[in-house]
């Protein structure tokens, strides 16, 4: 198994070139122990392409190294030392710089391993399971979070926790706090930041976002956006992987290259529409009411296939099929 340590400039995070680029999201530039000669830019080969449709793709590889004692069984991952972790990437630690100062050469912090690691495994483990589109869809979304959040970290000044980045992604169910508590605290924290005169504050307003065909839900805080455009682009970023994964399924096992434009076509075209469930339980198309009213009435968001949304006109009251409680 060979791994490559890949790095890139921070500025490139915002660029969306048609080609494929490796990115370094773990602040390797801060890590003096990493030998720069091991860092090279390499164009991805075809089999990784279905992950690299976006410039913000995270790939992380490590130089050749393998723990001697254990063997890979059916498990999809090979064993590794704790510092070379095959892990699901999540929102990165803000102390990336701090964590990068490890004595190990060529090893980035044990904290945040790129999803790319995992992907490397999938593509290079011989004869083992090929997860195909499925695992991409399952794991890719988390990787999308990484670049976005790092992007925000680096572009926003780190204030207190009241900073509201443009698109705050969430991993479902982590940290493990009951939603009852989350919701209660979201509203009470906001109340406490105002004077006690009964004025309702603007706390976080999380709504679940589901997408037809996506393996799980995400959540977004509607209060971090001020208009539909922002919401739309955030959702686009969050769910783009699912879309492409889907194309991959129908295509040649997810190996086709997808360009930026094709992605945008998918989301903006007739393929998908954004709908929401309002306080009465009706599903409506997003975009017809003023933003403020929308935030007050929206309970859930759903990205539906265009074909499923026939019958949902602005203001229409068709109750679409949904997985609500009994």
Q: Please report, as residue ranges, which positions from 276 to 305 form the binding site for other proteins (by CB under 8 A).
A: none
Question: Beta-carbon neighbour count of residue 109 at 10 Å?
Answer: 23
The residue from 191, 223, 257, 305 that contacts other proteins (CB under 8 A) is 191
Q: Which of 44, 50, 52, 78 binds other proteins (CB under 8 A)?
A: 78
Q: Residue 319 phi/psi, 5° resolution? A: -90, 115
Which is nearer to other proteins, 208 or 262 (by Cβ)? 208
**Nearer to other proteins among residue 45 and residue 197 (C-beta):** 197
**Binding letters toward other proteins, positions 105-144, x by CB under 8 A:** ----xxxxx----x----------xxxx-xx--x------
257 binds other proteins, rule: CB under 8 A = no
* Smallest distance from other proteins to CB 267, Å: 19
How many other CB atoms are found less than 10 A from the CB of residue 190? 16
Q: Which is nearer to other proteins, 21 or 148 (CB)?
A: 148
Is 97:153 a contact under the CB 8 Å cutoff?
no
Nearest distance in Å: CB 321, other proteins: 10
The sign of the CA dihedral 238, 239, 244, 249 is: positive
Q: How far is CA 6 from CA 41, 145, 194, 316, in A?
A: 6, 19, 47, 50
Q: Is 246 exposed, middle or buried (0-12, 13-18, 19+ CB in 10 A)?
A: buried
How far apart CA 42 and CA 58 sit, in angstroms, is: 13
Tell me: does residue 21 bind other proteins (CB under 8 A).
no
DSSP H helices, 110-171, are 115-124, 133-155
Residue 70 CB neighbours (<10 A): 11
Site string for other proteins, 138-177 (x = CB under 8 A): x----------x----------xx---x--x-xxxxxxxx
Quick one: which of 2, 41, 179, 226 contacts other proteins (CB under 8 A)? 179
- Residues 14 and 55: their CA atoms lie apart, in Å, by 8
Nearest distance from C-beta of residue 284 to other proteins, angstroms: 19
User: What tokens appear for 123 in the block?
Assistant: 């593509």
Interface residues for other proteins in 34-73 (CB under 8 A)? 70, 72-73
The least distance separating other proteins from the CB of residue 80, rounded to whole angstroms, comes to: 6
Q: How far apart are CA 36 and CA 141, in angstroms?
A: 30
Indicate the SS3 state at residue 287: coil
Only one of the segments 10-18, 20-28, 93-101, 227-235 lies at the binding site for other proteins (rule: CB under 8 A); that segment is 93-101
Residue in 16, 29, 63, 90 binding other proteins, rule: CB under 8 A: 90
Nearest to 79 by CA among 137, 146, 125: 125
Q: Residue 89 CB, nearest distance to other proteins (Å)?
A: 9
Check binding of 311 to other proteins (CB under 8 A).
no
């Amino acid at each position: 198994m060979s791994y490559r340590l890949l790095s890139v400039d921070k500025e490139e995070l915002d660029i969306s070139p048609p080609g494929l680029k490796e990115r370094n999201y773990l602040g390797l530039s801060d890590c003096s122990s990493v030998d720069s000669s091991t860092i090279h830019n390499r164009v991805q080969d075809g089999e990784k392409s279905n992950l690299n449709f976006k410039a913000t793709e995270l790939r992380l590889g490590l130089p050749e190294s393998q723990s001697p004692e254990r063997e890979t069984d059916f498990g999809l991952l090979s064993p590794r030392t704790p510092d070379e972790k095959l892990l699901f990437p999540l929102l990165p630690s803000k102390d990336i710089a701090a964590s990068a100062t490890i004595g190990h050469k060529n090893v980035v912090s044990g904290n945040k391993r790129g999803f790319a690691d995992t992907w490397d495994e999938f593509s290079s483990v011989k004869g083992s399971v090929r997860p195909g589109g499925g695992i991409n869809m399952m794991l890719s979304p988390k990787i999308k979070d990484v670049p976005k959040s790092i992007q925000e970290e680096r572009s926003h000044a780190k204030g207190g926790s009241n900073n509201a980045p443009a698109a705050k992604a969430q991993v479902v169910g982590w940290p493990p706090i009951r939603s009852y508590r989350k919701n209660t605290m979201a509203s009470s924290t906001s109340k406490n930041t105002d004077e006690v005169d009964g004025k309702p504050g603007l706390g976080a307003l999380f709504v679940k976002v589901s997408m037809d065909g996506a393996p799980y839900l995400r959540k977004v805080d509607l209060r971090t956006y001020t208009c539909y455009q922002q919401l739309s682009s955030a959702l686009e970023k969050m769910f783009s992987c699912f879309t492409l994964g889907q194309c991959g399924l129908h295509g040649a096992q997810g190996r086709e290259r997808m360009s930026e434009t094709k992605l945008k076509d998918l989301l903006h075209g007739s393929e998908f529409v954004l709908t929401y469930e309002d306080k009465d339980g009706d599903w409506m198309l997003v975009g017809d009411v003023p933003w403020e009213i929308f935030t007050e009435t929206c309970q859930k968001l759903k990205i539906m296939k265009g074909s499923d949304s026939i019958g949902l006109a602005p203001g229409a009251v068709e109750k679409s099929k949904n997985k609500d409680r009994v």
